[in-house]
Structure 1
Amino acid sequence: MPMFEPLVQPGPALSEPELARYSRQLTLPGVGPLGQRRIRNAKVLVIGAGGLGSPIINYLVAAGVGRLTVIDDDRVESSNLQRQVIHREQDIGQFKAESAKAAALRLDASARFTALTHKLTVDNALSLFAEHDLVLDGTDNFATRYLSNDAAELSGTPLIWGTIFQFSGQVSVFAPQRGPMLRDLFPEIPEADSVPSCAEGGVFGTLCAVVGATMAGEALKLICGIGEPLIGRFWRYDALQTTTDVLTFQADPQREPVRSLDCETAQCTVSTPVPELSVDELEESMTVLDIREAWERDLGSIALSIHLPMDELLERGWAGLTELGLTGDLVLACKSGARSARAVQALLAQRPEAPLRSLRGGTQAWFTQCAGRELIY
């Protein structure tokens, strides 16, 4: 007997080509023809077609999921190809969702795939969740993760959640009415810039495959009603040590249930405002301090800027700036503006009146406007 009821009802009998194509799954205990019919009848939403979305999409299409919808408003960049293996060099510039659809159809020409090239928002989340049997969230920002959790809780749609950073990854399953949700584990959404993005902190390419494949496996288990899904459990993987562990957690009886996807519930909050200026507002009298890593600076830098990596800047603080003779109007710059905003915030906490600002859009914006080319990495 299954440990829980299968999520999806079985669809029509399998055709001869389907029996041949999925024969290795048909022999699995607990799957069989009935389980495969459930997989063929499943409607799955994947949020994000990047590092985690790539293996998720590949394995769900290969497994024969009946209808797959992917939502992602980003476009493919060359820096994605190190880990987002569903995309190719010739896909650079295309919407990731469209590129993922083309890859899915190369794998299975009969795949029913819907590509949505816009964001998941408060306005569309509930309807999208309600139209699908389950959702997999492979995004890389806190706002979307909490929006997904809240939409899952309100719609009753199970959510498979995964995260990656540098060499570590996590997976859990949030199933309304069956187990605890994200807000039971992490009640408050962290500040948007409290954890560096993949672009800033880096990510081990094969980590995406391990975590994404684990998420796809959880989806198939839920669909078929087999095994023990990660409901009320938090799976962690360390690629450097090649270790895994699982933490258990329960619903918080004191937590208020999610009641709507308004701005408060979806955590549409912003960090404390940081003084910043645009590329157009830069003046010759201002000193630009590039706080990126040395290898980033080798790819291109703002003319006449001074280099001091962020870690060293935060360690040395104002004393380090004084040693460099940086006492005037100072503008901090990183790749996109996220790291420089955090650094400005940290320094201003010590000297609130200091003439210190963050460059909005970072070196990417400067190269686009002043050098006529993109700085992509």
Structure 2
Amino acid sequence: MNNQELKRYDRQILLEELGLEGQEKLRNTAVLVIGAGGLGCPLLLYLAGAGVGKIGIIDGDVVEESNLHRQVLYQMNDLGKNKAQTAADKLRQLNPLIEVQAYPYHLSAENATATLSDYDLVMDGSDNFPTRYLVNDSCVTLNKPLIFGSIFKFEGQVSVFNYQGGPDYRSCYPEAPAAAEQNNCGESGVIGPLPGIIGSIMANECIKVICGFGDQLSGKLLIFNALNYDMQIFNIQPEGAKKDALHEAGTKAATYQEIGQEELQEWKDKEEPFLLIDVREAYEFEEYNIGGTHISLYDLKDKITDIPFQNKLVLCCTSGAKSRMAAKLISKTRKESLFIISLLNTNT
């Protein structure tokens, strides 16, 4: 490494866990970032600052004024410009020692394999489910580690997928929610600092994976709540391990069953006894709910023993993801049959 590099990266080279060897690994690694929006902006800044040798940026969108409250790479004079090209120009100004490649178009099934093949690691900061599944499936096919992040209102998620035999995105979310359940920032809003927090965590995971230190979030899903600073980490079971567990269980019933609102309504009409628990946040419950008791997922662990016994325990949330996590928590200590339901319309 030359003197300019040693001077620029001095503060992180001083870290025993990283050192000169880690800095060399960063310089020799190529990272592709999917999306140069809320999550992409902070993680791109930190990857460029850390000295990742080659950074690719793929995004077909242009900068809009509504982006500026959270997408910290852009300014008013960038309005109307392609995000990938604009972000690449700014990263080159930040660190002229690295290579930055812009792909000013959206990722698609036609270009995914060719684009991802040139990179060692992929970071998904996209904001829609089709892209997330495309990125995941491409990384699995090409055997590329994937660092995933997402944000919604006040909540963010981060995980490391397809890393050293660990689970992939489909192990956590086997299928995309129904179209009516797929909300985004443009429809539901997002607090400005949240993508900065989640994007920074993604960048931190990227550096850890490249340099090989610390505990990576492989096989784990980190969920951060900006309303109360609650942070929890849930274990993700690889798909193969799930199948093995079901095989060993023989005819034993699954931990939970997923039902629709129609089936729930039939239970109500027949006056069948059940307990409905909404595991979303309080503000979401107040905005829209289908009745039942509200217990946030983050508070559930401490309140499990207080839940009155019912033969049927129904858990609901917006997409089903929180309900699945809640079911896993409850099944460790309770014996009821667990059912999961998604709220099909949270804007009523």
- Give the TM-score taking structure 1 as reference length: 0.64
Among 206, 231, 240, the alignment partner of 2:218 is 231
Aligned to 1:208: 195
Report how many residues are paired.
251
Question: Post-superposition shift, 1:177?
Answer: 4.6
Question: Post-superposition shift, 1:176?
Answer: 4.6
CA distance in 1, matches of 2:218, 2:96: 34
Whether 1:191 and 2:178 are equivalent positions in the alignment is yes
| 1:252 to 1:167, Cα distance in 2 relative to 1, 3 A | same
CA-atom RMSD in angstroms: 2.1
CA distance in 2, matches of 1:88, 1:193: 33
Among 63, 76, 84, the alignment partner of 2:50 is 63
Aligned to 1:164: 151
CA distance in 2, matches of 1:175, 1:228: 15
Secondary structure at 1:221 match in 2: helix
Among 70, 75, 84, the alignment partner of 2:62 is 75
| 1:77 to 1:183, Cα distance in 2 relative to 1, 3 A | same
Aligned AA (2:139): A
Larger of the two Rg values belongs to structure: 1
| 1:39 to 1:177, Cα distance in 2 relative to 1, 3 A | closer
Contact 1:178–1:231 under 8 Å retained in 2: no
Question: Post-superposition shift, 1:63?
Answer: 0.3
Aligned to 1:85: 72
Gaps of 5+ in 2: 244-286, 291-343
CA distance in 2, matches of 1:162, 1:255: 23
| 1:15 to 1:193, Cα distance in 2 relative to 1, 3 A | farther
Among 88, 100, 105, the alignment partner of 1:113 is 100
CA distance in 2, matches of 1:169, 1:254: 26
Secondary structure at 1:100 match in 2: helix
Gaps of 5+ in 1: 1-13, 257-310, 316-341, 348-377
Secondary structure at 1:214 match in 2: helix
Task: Report 1:290-309 matches (<5 A).
Answer: none
Contact 1:161–1:215 under 8 Å retained in 2: yes
Question: Equivalent pairs: percent with the same residue?
Answer: 42
Aligned to 2:37: 50
Among 133, 137, 140, the alignment partner of 1:146 is 133
Contact 1:39–1:64 under 8 Å retained in 2: yes
CA distance in 1, matches of 2:172, 2:121: 20
Aligned to 1:178: 165
Aligned AA (1:209): G
Aligned to 2:315: none
Contact 1:143–1:192 under 8 Å retained in 2: no
Question: Post-superposition shift, 1:188?
Answer: 1.1
Deviation readout 1:283-302 (Å, 9 max, x if unpaired): xxxxxxxxxxxxxxxxxxxx
CA distance in 2, matches of 1:149, 1:109: 31
Contact 1:233–1:246 under 8 Å retained in 2: yes
Deviation readout 1:138-175 (Å, 9 max, x if unpaired): 01000000111101110000000000001000000002
Contact 1:141–1:192 under 8 Å retained in 2: no
CA distance in 2, matches of 1:91, 1:125: 27
Contact 1:142–1:192 under 8 Å retained in 2: no
Contact 2:163–2:218 under 8 Å retained in 1: no
Aligned AA (1:148): V
Aligned AA (2:162): A
Task: Report 1:250-261 matches (<5 A).
Answer: 250-253=237-240
Contact 2:63–2:78 under 8 Å retained in 1: yes
